[in-house]
Amino acid sequence: MRFTISSIEIENFRQYKDTQTIDFPFDRKRNVAIIIGKNGAGKTNLLNALTWCFYGFETHTDYEENEKMPIINTSALSALKPNEKTAAEVTVFLDTDVGGWCIRRTISGGKKANGEVFIDPKTKLSVTHPLGGQDKVETGDDTEVLINNLLPNDLKQFFFMDGERLREFFNKDIAQNIGESIEKVSQLGLMYKAAEHFESLEKELRKNVKESTPKLDEINQEIQDLTNRMESLKDSINKNRDETKKNHQELKDVKDFLKNCGIEQVELLENERQSIEDAIKNLGARHHAKVQERNRYLVQIAPFIYLKQPIEQSLSLMQAKMAKGDLPPKIKETLVLELIEKGKCICGSKVEGETKKTLEEYSKTLGLSEIGEVAIVGKTKYKDIFADISLFTQKMDIFHQEIQSFEDELEKDRRRLEQITDELKKGEDKEKIINYEKRRDELNRFIGKLEQQVKMDSGELEEARKILEEKRTEYDKELGSSEKNKKLKVKLELVQQTLRTLANTEIAIKENLRKQIQDNTESNFMRLIRKKGAFTGVIINEKYEVTVKHVSGYNVIDHLSAGEYMILGLSFMSALMNISGFKAPVIIDTPLGRIDDEHRDKITTELPVFLEGTQLILFVTPTEYDEKVRTNLSTFIQKGNCYKIDENTNQNESKVVKNV
């Protein structure tokens, strides 16, 4: 269902005291609304108000900061007398394909008799929506289901975005982020649940076997053991993946600390180390590609190298035949035989008597001609093959040189990394740096071990899956021998086929989505990027690793500017939005921060067109909303669709007012 936000009403929510209403008139072409606010004035809390109203929590927040403050406006709370109550409330009015919706969430709080402030831990949610020509108000469990049907909680981040996080998206843990996003957008969760429930049913069905045999019991036990082992492997894989993610985050923190520790020498060395690590990654990939190219060449040329002698003999035999005039044949044997058989020439003359006899004798001398003809064609190929064989040593030398040069460079870089580690440990504030260095090594080791464990577990899981399939077939065969279990067998077979199809569908969907997202991201990126001539494309491979291809052939994913990361993030999110099938407004908090003028120009002229028909609400700072941006966006903003956030003199309360 398509929806747009027609208005938001906020009451006593964080710094927004009393009731404030923001209307968002919408038009397909004039699809942009702007909210201008200084840093800290409350832009992000407006986005939080929205996610809190929909899903009950604030996603775009610095938790440490916001957790200290109650959601209910603190001035409203402190103005209460003992035993008085107040509430914070956010109401979002929506226009949908089927009529107007209203989503309202309230949280209560107040002062106890002793003056102590309390906040009710539970929030109240109500959804009013059109049903059967009337407005229906839902307040129970169904409210969350209704909102999830409108825009699932898992997908909200692709519509309600934080500019800063969008820039960061491609900056760290890319593969994991992309994998998780594809998982969310594909709603594979539904399939996992269905598979889980079919598996339980399968177990239950086996328990209902009416006439068991020792063999059936034995196989059933094996199936049980295998399923249990698979469960524990899945748990271990998930646990280790989570652990790896945490370690990657800590590793990033350690690297960031070293990069910004304030000791110039350390910062320089850490920066150098990170560029060397990037270079090693790049060189490693190129080295791997070259080794593969050499191996492919070897597989292709190897049969000819081994058959060199017989090929030489064949060629000299052909050359001798040619010298004798046996090759090439003057007349085709098939033609002579055809003339004899048909008894008639193409000119109409009859082939009979002496003529026929002469031809019959001549045909006997043409025994090898057909083979000879093939050999003549083959001779040219033999020459090519010989040319290839003679180039073998030379080609292999080139391969070796290139591979060796990669290995030398890698070795040089690795040695430099070791030197950097030593230098870091010798410098200023060395104890602290040594500790960080130790932690860095530890984390790298942990990550390596965890990744290895995940690889091993995944391999074992795959193997267990295959054995399980065999055992199930064996079980069905044994089950089929009993008349009493026939009905059960039909059910079991259907459930098993369903489970197999679900597993295959999961793989196919992921692959299908990856390709679609890659193509959409690439076309979005190439459209929005400023330096069109500098990039040739974006690739998201099977492992969800992203390559941004530079014209020089290098992958520059680790070397993009803040603006380019923003464009890449927007391109990817748009691809996901598109594929998710949900039609919701796109709200971006500070999309124009920390990016250069040209990209700012590009985003403000292209994005509204790019998202034509989709409501686009942008939160910007006054500095970002400069003359150029204002002019660019003026064609896309309806009158009255521009607001500013005014702070009071103490800068602890804010009001949203029309920006005229």
Would you tell me which residues interact with another protein (CB under 8 A)? 141, 144-145, 148, 185-187, 190-191, 193-194, 197-198, 200-201, 204, 490-491, 494-495, 497-498, 501-502, 504-505, 508-509, 512-513, 574, 577-581, 583, 610-614
SS (HEC) of 597-615: HHHHHHHHHHHHHHCCCCC
Q: What is the nearest approach in angstroms of another protein to the Cβ of residue 43? A: 24
Q: What DSSP designation does 543 have? A: T
Q: What is the nearest approach in angstroms of another protein to the Cβ of residue 497? A: 5
Strand pairing category for 117-131 and 586-589? unpaired
Residue partners of 497: CB distance under 8 A and separation at least 6: none
Question: Long-range pairs for 483-487 at CB < 8 Å and ≥24 separation?
Answer: 484/210, 484/211, 485/209, 485/210, 485/211
Q: What is the nearest approach in angstroms of another protein to the Cβ of residue 659? A: 27
Instruction: Closer to another protein by CB, 385 or 586: give it.
Output: 586
Q: What is the nearest approach in angstroms of another protein to the Cβ of residue 38? A: 31
| CB contact at 8 A, 129 and 136 | yes
Instruction: Closer to another protein by CB, 307 or 494: give it.
Output: 494
- Omega cis (within 30) before 328: yes
Q: What is the nearest approach in angstroms of another protein to the Cβ of residue 574? A: 6
- Residue 458 CB neighbours (<10 A): 14
Instruction: Closer to another protein by CB, 201 or 340: give it.
Output: 201
* DSSP code per residue over 19-80: EEEEE----SSS-EEEEE--TTSSHHHHHHHHHHHHHSS--SS-HHHHHHS-SB-HHHHHTP
In the block, tokens 């083979």 appear at 371
Q: What is the nearest approach in angstroms of another protein to the Cβ of residue 656? A: 28
Instruction: Closer to another protein by CB, 34 or 577: give it.
Output: 577
Instruction: Closer to another protein by CB, 156 or 273: give it.
Output: 156
Q: What is the nearest approach in angstroms of another protein to the Cβ of residue 580? A: 6
| H and E: helices and strands count for the chain | 18, 14
| CB contact at 8 A, 476 and 489 | yes
Instruction: Closer to another protein by CB, 74 or 498: give it.
Output: 498
Strands (E), 353-449: none
Q: What DSSP designation does 352 have? A: -
- Residue 472 CB neighbours (<10 A): 21
Q: What is the nearest approach in angstroms of another protein to the Cβ of residue 288? A: 32
Q: What is the nearest approach in angstroms of another protein to the Cβ of residue 189? A: 8
Instruction: Closer to another protein by CB, 20 or 148: give it.
Output: 148
Instruction: Closer to another protein by CB, 498 or 659: give it.
Output: 498
- Residue 598 CB neighbours (<10 A): 11
Instruction: Closer to another protein by CB, 417 or 509: give it.
Output: 509
